[in-house]
Amino acid sequence: MSTRDPEAIVIGSGPNGLVAACILARNGYRVLLLEANPRRPGGALGSEIATRPGFVHDVGAAFFPFGKTSPAFKHLDLVGNGLKWCHAELESCHPAPDGSVAAISRDDDVTASHFGSPEDGAAWRNLARWHRGAERHILGFLLGPFPTLGPLFKLGLFNLLKLTRILASSGRGLSSRLFQSEAARRVLPGLALHVDVGPDDVFGAGLGYMLGLTAVTGGYPVPRGGAQAITDTLVRILEAHGGKLRLGAQVEQVIVKGGRAAAVRLVGGEEIRASHMVLANTSAPSLYLDLLKDDQVSSRVIKRMRSFPHGWGTFKLDWALSDPVPWSEPLAHKSAVVHAGDSLTDLSRFTKVVRGGEIPENPYLVIGQQSLADPTRAPEGQHTLWAYSRVPPTVDGTWESQRERFADSVDERIEGLAPGFKGRIIARRAVAPPDLQAMDANLVGGDLGGGSNAWHRQFIWRPVFPYFRYRTPVAGLYLCSSYAHPGAGVHGMCGFNAAHIAMKDSK
Ligand SMILES: Cc1cc2nc3c(=O)[nH]c(=O)nc-3n(C[C@H](O)[C@H](O)[C@H](O)COP(=O)(O)OP(=O)(O)OC[C@H]3O[C@@H](n4cnc5c(N)ncnc54)[C@H](O)[C@@H]3O)c2cc1C
């Protein structure tokens, strides 16, 4: 082993791989970060000029509820290292064609005056007040390396019972218990559909709750200049601590010697040794089925990985617009994110259709207006728009043949909420599930959640029991992607936790 060999190799430079690499480098390890993409690091966290010159589009993640609250990002001090967060006036708006609306602001009084009805506004204010007091311990419980009993004890009995009641509900159950108006009731279940959790799913309330209430504390900020700015900041931190990033380096095998991860082999045959550890920011099936040999993994794990439960596909769009979206609902003009989903019934219909493998008509949408908060994203006076819907990963025929037709149906849904929208489109780019996977191998079939986010795919089951604490059957090899706990979203905590466990083992 040469003294110039890296001590730690991280495979993949998504936010989790980058955070893991930064933590290791800051702790004195010689780190090499290998990224398959030859053009840019970041995985689903990046930006590109994709429609017309001057319009900056985020390739995947765009709004960052954990940007300011994630312990990993706080520890690495992204802002102190040059990142600038921008906020729109409101965080999330949930309009419907019947004129009803609910909107979330970081100011509880503002939310209370726009949350379906005065009673529902008061109910939201109470919930938000409670959440602010308990959030530190809730995040400690949900984001730390499971089991995280310390933060649970710190919550206290009353708060613990309240949290348990929330997590044990379905999205529909929780929002019907809390709110009376349809506008307020569609908010939390609508947020849960960012992943593959429908309004009627058992124990399905937790995700919508967390996304809704982190909009109150961290908000849905965007980084100035594009999502790529977060990646670039992390790369700067890595390099400042001596770590190295290599693009266009796809790992095809983890080489195991004496039961320990000893090196990796790149496509093309080059072998690179790692004296202490290898961390994989890959999908769980890719790590267990592609990068390791069958005799290094138990037949039970191989079987589980062959039928791994991925989340739904994602269909994503970017537009260059001549003017802002002409929403009928005035609050939508000020909101970072707008959700299209008219009612609990509409959200249930959508869930059923996608689960049934059909392309949804009148699709549910998460719509992002980054350029409202950050004018650097578009030429002066013009705007970008970003949206995604959830779809089956595969369709009859191919996505190639359905891509533009489905994109037209997205345009129609936005037009229904904003008459005149289509007349403002300068250019549009539609990205179907296979396109997302071609950009980033972890987005299998367009799954943006690192596998299904159903309750029985979390905690000790993520990605497979008993390997829920980032370790694998091979000594010195760790899974650090969103396929590990705590899963989807840009918080870096999978990488943060995995790096700490790897360092502990290595000592
Ligand atoms: C359309 C879309 C919208 C989203 N919106 C949001 C949002 O608004 N907010 C939010 O918080 N989250 C959002 N997400 C989810 C978020 O992007 C992911 O949860 C997050 O990026 C996962 O990070 P990761 O580091 O685990 O993996 P990824 O970001 O997927 O990165 C994995 C990296 O590993 C590389 N890699 C894989 N295998 C190999 C190999 N064998 N060799 C070398 N390199 C390899 C890949 O090329 C990739 O660069 C969105 C995702 C998508 C797709």
Query: For all residues of the chain together, what is the average pLDDT?
Result: 97
Cα-to-chain-centroid distance, residue 160: 26
Structure tokens given for 315: 């269909």
Least confident of 144-148, 165-169, 413-417: 144-148
Structure tokens at 333: 């003009």
In 3D, which of 388, 316, 315, 392 has the Cα closest to residue 353? 392
3-state helix, strand, coil in the chain (%, to 5): 40, 20, 40
Tell me the best of 35, 143, 314 to mutate to test the pocket of ligand 1, counting ligand atoms within 8 Å of each CB and taking the most: 35
Q: Mutate which of 16, 278, 448 to test ligand 1's pocket (most atoms within 8 Å of Cβ)?
A: 448
Q: Is any atom of ligand 1 closer than 6 Å to the C-beta of 367? A: no
**368 Cβ closer than 6 Å to some ligand 1 atom:** no
Judged on CB neighbours under 10 Å (0-12, 13-18, 19+), 229 is buried
397 — pLDDT class (breaks 50, 70, 90): confident
Q: Is 432 in the pocket of ligand 1 (CB under 6 A)?
A: no
Rounded mean pLDDT, 341-368: 97
Angle at 448 between CA 379 and CA 193, to 5 degrees: 90
CA 48 – CA 43 distance, rounded (Å): 12
Residue nearest to atom 38 of ligand 1 (CA): 282
Q: 109 CA to middle of ligand 1, Å?
A: 35
pLDDT at 507: 87
Quickly state the pLDDT bin for 3 (edges 50, 70, 90): low
Which of 130, 479, 21 has the alpha carbon at shortest distance from 282? 479
Tokens for 478, please give them. 């760790």
Average pLDDT over residues 239-243: 98
Domains, the chain, in order of start with CATH, read 8-38+247-308+451-506 (3.50.50.60), 50-64+312-448 (3.30.519), 106-219 (no CATH)
- Contact yes or no for 108/192 (Cβ under 8 A): no
**pLDDT score recorded for residue 177:** 97
pLDDT > 80? residue 1: no
- Distance CA(503)–CA(31), nearest Å, equals 13
SS3 320: strand
Decide whether any atom of ligand 1 lies within 6 Å of the 440 Cβ.
yes
Cα(43) to centroid of ligand 1, in Å?
5
Q: Note the pLDDT tens digit of each residue in 165-212.
A: 999 999 999 999 999 999 999 999 999 999 999 999 999 999 999 999
pLDDT tens figures, 209-222: 999 999 999 999 99
Residue 148 backbone dihedrals phi, psi, to 5 degrees:
-110, 75
51 φ, ψ (degrees, to nearest 5): -115, -65
Question: By the 8 A CB rule, do 106 and 97 touch?
Answer: no
The candidate with the shortest Cα–Cα distance to 153, out of 166, 141, 165, is 141
Residue 44 CA, ligand 1 centroid: distance in Å: 4
Answer yes or no: is the C-beta of 11 below 6 A from any ligand 1 atom: yes
Spacing, Cα 59 to ligand 1 middle (Å): 10
State the distance from the centre of ligand 1 to the C-alpha of 11, rounded, in angstroms: 13
The dihedral over CA atoms of 455, 62, 218, 68, expressed in degrees to the nearest 10, equals 100
Q: Atom 2 of ligand 1 has which residue's CA nearest to it?
A: 60
Instruction: Tell whether the model's pLDDT for residue 310 goes beyond 60.
Output: yes
Q: What pTM did the predictor assign?
A: 0.97
Q: Is 213 helix (H, G, I), strand (E, B) or coil?
A: helix
